Structure 1
Amino acid sequence: MPERTIGADLDATVAAHADRDALVEMASGRRWTYAQLRHDVDELARGFLAMGVQPGDRVGIWAPSCAEWTLTQYATAKIGAVLVTVNPAYRTHELQYVLAQAGASVLVCTQSFKGSDYPQMVAEVRDELPELREVVVIGTPSWDALVAGARSVDADELARVGDGLAPDDPINIQYTSGTTGFPKGATLSHRNILGNGWFVGEGCRYTHEDRICIPVPFYHCFGMVMGNLAATSHGACMVIPAPAFDPALTLAAVAAERCTSLYGVPTMFIAEWALPDRESYDLSTLRTGIMAGSPCPAELMRQVLDAGISDMTICYGMTETSPVSTQTSPDDPFEAKVGTVGRVGPHLEVKVVDPTTGETVPRGEPGELCTKGYSVMLGYWREPQKSAEAIRDGWMHTGDLAVMDDEGFVRITGRIKDVVIRGGENIYPREIEEFLYTHPDVLDAQVIGVPDERYGEELMAWVRLREGAEPMTAQSLRDFCTGRLAHYKIPRFVHVVDDFPMTVTGKVRKVEMREAAAQILRRDRA
């Protein structure tokens, strides 16, 4: 285990690989060696200290993948500030909640992304965030002022702060959609995410010669842990192909930077392999990578292997476990790479239990997957009761149904709760239902997942309207949600009903709703 802080780990890597490439941002053409990366990270860290940020303070970051995101990640780690990662798809409703719940005193944000004015959205909710003291906008004078503040704090002061940090200190809060209507802040330590980045990198057999193309978002553990921390803990190079996923720009980055590793959820790989000119990209340097987020189709894995990416791995986990618990090995048989999510990682334990009794079930029998070890989060930020419900005797209860075979390979067979996985994004219907209740015409709402060829699942809202309400269409409901919910949480389909199918005890039968929805969609497409 790398029993040290993220800042100390970066310093050790710089000492060994100062002149090697550390970071490449394709959109701007900017590049950093490890020595240059540490210079800019330390300068930004001193700027945060000059701003008054102290160890334990929460600093939010709300931006797409960019070099400043990475610099902020490591600068806050250097001074022990807790980085609050905000999904760039969030809108005012969600932004206000997570910044308030985390108690963020500083927010770093982008100027604009996909047509949205981020400072304007911050301004709309600023009065409801009394703890938010500073807003720093990347690429503006406020960012320049933050960096310039470093002149008032010397290197000795930064070192003194760093020496006072410990591996088990909280360093990151990642918000996961909650079943209670609001996201929960999984609180992660240096040890959690540095250890996970290190071992995932070991699983990919990284060395300082590797160059990792990271098209997955930094706000998620996939990007900032499995991508950035796996790279810096091994002296490898981080390549940012674009601010948001673009299949052509991703393959162009692989070719131009001679990348050896490529990340993505299956839908990303499907989009890349579907490019009509894919053969024109030189992917010959690719050796390994990670596919995660949802099951890998067998045909897709065959295409990846046929392209020469012989060491592609599959990972499984959740934000609350930093995130990876299991990973396939390059040496595993093909059947394991497409039918399982691998075996348990180093210094971790997994077990499959009866969801009702909590007793461990025999190999080959289904049950709830639980995991234990260094990767389990410290808890949900400011929510001790929810933390105690999720972590029992050190075991994180994932809510996923799984089967473990005699060789230790784990196969995910379903989900205990009604989480919808759309293109690798975990979406909890309860959160969206709570928001739909704010619509003046909605009496009640239920959200389910329906099959979709492109994303795996799409969202469908069943709504009961108030008496006298105007007729509702899918478009009118989407218009209500746009700008207030992340795009991937906005239901694609809407079905207006008088009543929901219920059990005799008064619970909504979502299984029956999903069956009916499939028939409705087939009829509408006919």
Structure 2
Amino acid sequence: MSAPSYAHGVGDVALIGETIGENLAHTAARVPERDALVSCEQGIRWTYAQLDAAVDRLATGLLRSGVAKGDRVGLWSPNRAEWTLVQYATARIGAVLVNVNPAYRTHELSYALRHSGTKLLFSARAFKTSDYAAMVAQVGDELQELERVVFFDDDPAWDELAATPADAAALAERAATLSFDDPIDIQYTSGTTGAPKGATLSHHNLLNNGFLVGELIHYSEHDRICLPVPFYHCFGMVMGNLAATSHGACMVIPSAGFDPLATLRAVAQERCTSLYGVPTMFIAELEHPSFAEHDLSSLRTGIMAGSPCPIEVMKQVIDKMHMREVSICYGMTETSPVSTQTRTDDPLELRVGSVGRVGPHVEVKVVEPDTGMIVKRGETGELRTRGYSVMLGYWGELEKTAEAIDAAGWMHTGDLATMDDAGYVAIVGRIKDMVIRGGENVYPRELEELLHLHDDVVDVQVVGVPDAKYGEELCAWVRLRDGAAVGEDDVRAFCRERVAHFKVPRHVLFVDEFPMTVTGKVQKYKMREATIERLGLDTMEVEGR
């Protein structure tokens, strides 16, 4: 008789029972002179003693400016040294960091700040084509609880906060009021109802997930981690920053946004031992014209996550980039994020054909979605996870929290999976229709509701279709009002002004009707098949959907 699809990750090391601020202080005391952070574009290089002192200064500045325990502090910026300072300074005083996606436009920015009740916002002035300062000004009247905006560049307010003399007594007084189970971070994840939900995470969630991910790839103070992945996401701030600081490793920021050349240069110049990215990032690095000019021999490990990795890409990452111990991770924002991970000695076929085994101190099971009964090994069902990593809940959304986390504490991932006899998990589909585009999760419902605001759109349905570069792309099926003169570019322009670039549909089809069931339900799988045929897309199977 086949075993049930249940696995418990036995831990060789105990969970950390302290706050993020305490953990950083302990690391700084242990390895004060080791490099903690290098920001290549900014020319910044801090030891752990310097990082810890800088965090103390900013944390004291926040205290003196009236930031209380539990106050929400927004952070809207691409990767830079200041991002990391704010991350650790807010944790040190018990403020709740609100991560704002650098790709957000005004509608999304306003929603996140209003919904979270953000009191103070730290922001870059601009990034690429986004004028953050102008967008903040545009939505300012909508944000009744936002008291102050501080920009990182050319703003005396930032200089003053960051240079505040550290007050050890005041910091100790605040620290005495903090618990590692306190909420410390809100990350917005798109929802099937169109409105993003704020996954609320604790010190315990985040610190332990970063620490244990690092344990499985054997981090120590001798490691140097190149982080081209965004800090606003768990990939950067947890699997990157917290994995580093909990082990005394160095965080290397190659550039503000992903740049394959800057990444290759950072690895070579800083002698990085680990490199992170989604598969499309590794592909861009491997295909860069100057790839062969960079000495990557210092690399031994790294993490690839966000979407499945083609086997040929994995072979090149191992052979040409020297990442023999590269690891595949799977998870979701609501689980801090990692639930399963491949080990450094797993064979190639398991690194491309699975998302690994359950992590330490975590449980996973595969169940029949409707009944919740565990299925046998090898059978398909919904993957659910339980343990220290499961979020506290969705900010201000008790009903949605109860829908996601059941009475027994299991997080319902919505992913269809199988578990083999050795406990390796493979993601084979989605219960819901989420699209994973280059590691970014996009829910069609959000885009559908946005396009319904267009005066000439009668109805719209959005599906994910295969894409060789990003894994999946969005295709919008649009029904227009009679006589409307709207083209594909008009639809894309309407979206581009209102939502992040990765949510803008690459394909737009104008149709008279949608395939429907006899009961009137839209058949999205038929839409997807028809789109593939109509556009002549590669019919490769996109895993992770």
- TM-score, normalized by length of structure 2? 0.94
Residue 138 (structure 1) aligns with: 152
Alignment counterpart, residue 255 of structure 2, candidates 233, 239, 242:
242
Deviations 1:2-28 (A, max 9, x none): 110000000000000111100000101
Contact 2:58 2:161 in 1 (8 A): yes
Contact 1:105 1:133 in 2 (8 A): yes
How far does residue 147 in structure 1 lie from its aligned partner after superposition? 2.6
Residue 415 (structure 1) aligns with: 430
Deviations 1:367-415 (A, max 9, x none): 0000000000000000010100000120001000110011101011111
Identity of aligned residues (%): 65
Letter in 2 for 1:293: G
Residue 50 (structure 1) aligns with: 64
Letter in 2 for 1:141: P
Alignment counterpart, residue 161 of structure 1, candidates 146, 162, 174:
174
Residue 359 (structure 1) aligns with: 373
Residue 440 (structure 2) aligns with: 425
1:83 alignment partner, SS class? strand
- Structure 1 residues not aligned, in runs of 5+: none
Residue 237 (structure 2) aligns with: 224
Distance, in Å, in 1 between the alignment partners of 2:130 and 2:422 is 49
- More deviation, 49-58/372-381: 49-58
How far does residue 331 in structure 1 lie from its aligned partner after superposition? 1.2
**Counterpart check, 1:106 vs 2:116:** no
How far does residue 466 in structure 1 lie from its aligned partner after superposition? 2.3
Residue 543 (structure 2) aligns with: none
Residue 25 (structure 2) aligns with: 11
Distance, in Å, in 2 between the alignment partners of 1:278 and 1:523 is 29
**Counterpart check, 1:91 vs 2:93:** no
- More deviation, 496-505/395-404: 496-505
**Counterpart check, 1:289 vs 2:299:** no
**Counterpart check, 1:196 vs 2:209:** yes
1:235 alignment partner, SS class? coil
Contact 2:37 2:252 in 1 (8 A): yes
Superposition pairs of residues 78-477 of structure 1, within 5 angstroms:
78-139=92-153, 140-148=155-163, 150-151=164-165, 154-307=167-320, 308-392=322-406, 393-470=408-485, 472-477=486-491
Letter in 2 for 1:170: P
How far does residue 276 in structure 1 lie from its aligned partner after superposition? 2.2
**Counterpart check, 1:65 vs 2:84:** no
Distance, in Å, in 2 between the alignment partners of 1:456 and 1:15 is 44
Contact 1:65 1:242 in 2 (8 A): yes
- More deviation, 137-146/37-46: 137-146
Letter in 2 for 1:305: I
Distance, in Å, in 2 between the alignment partners of 1:65 and 1:147 is 17
2:386 alignment partner, SS class? strand
**Counterpart check, 1:509 vs 2:523:** yes
How far does residue 523 in structure 1 lie from its aligned partner after superposition? 9.0
Letter in 2 for 1:275: H
Contact 1:22 1:34 in 2 (8 A): yes
Letter in 2 for 1:314: I
1:131 alignment partner, SS class? coil
Distance, in Å, in 1 between the alignment partners of 2:167 and 2:391 is 33
Letter in 2 for 1:184: K
Deviations 1:280-302 (A, max 9, x none): 11000001000000111111111
Distance, in Å, in 1 between the alignment partners of 2:519 and 2:233 is 39
- TM-score, normalized by length of structure 1? 0.98
Distance, in Å, in 2 between the alignment partners of 1:451 and 1:12 is 47
2:536 alignment partner, SS class? helix
Aligned length: 521
Residue 488 (structure 1) aligns with: 502
Choose between structure 1 and 2 for higher RCO, CA contacts under 8 A separated by at least 6 residues. Answer: 2
Distance, in Å, in 1 between the alignment partners of 2:497 and 2:181 is 37
Letter in 1 for 2:316: Q
Distance, in Å, in 2 between the alignment partners of 1:217 and 1:280 is 26
Contact 1:474 1:492 in 2 (8 A): no
Distance, in Å, in 1 between the alignment partners of 2:278 and 2:300 is 17
1:229 alignment partner, SS class? helix
Contact 1:73 1:83 in 2 (8 A): yes
Distance, in Å, in 2 between the alignment partners of 1:450 and 1:298 is 21
1:252 alignment partner, SS class? helix
Q: 1:523 to 1:313 in 2, by over 3 A?
A: closer
Distance, in Å, in 2 between the alignment partners of 1:161 and 1:466 is 59
Letter in 2 for 1:514: R
- More deviation, 450-459/85-94: 450-459
Q: In angstroms, what is the RMSD of aligned CA positions?
A: 1.2
Distance, in Å, in 2 between the alignment partners of 1:340 and 1:166 is 36
Alignment counterpart, residue 88 of structure 2, candidates 54, 63, 74:
74
How far does residue 445 in structure 1 lie from its aligned partner after superposition? 1.2
Letter in 2 for 1:26: C
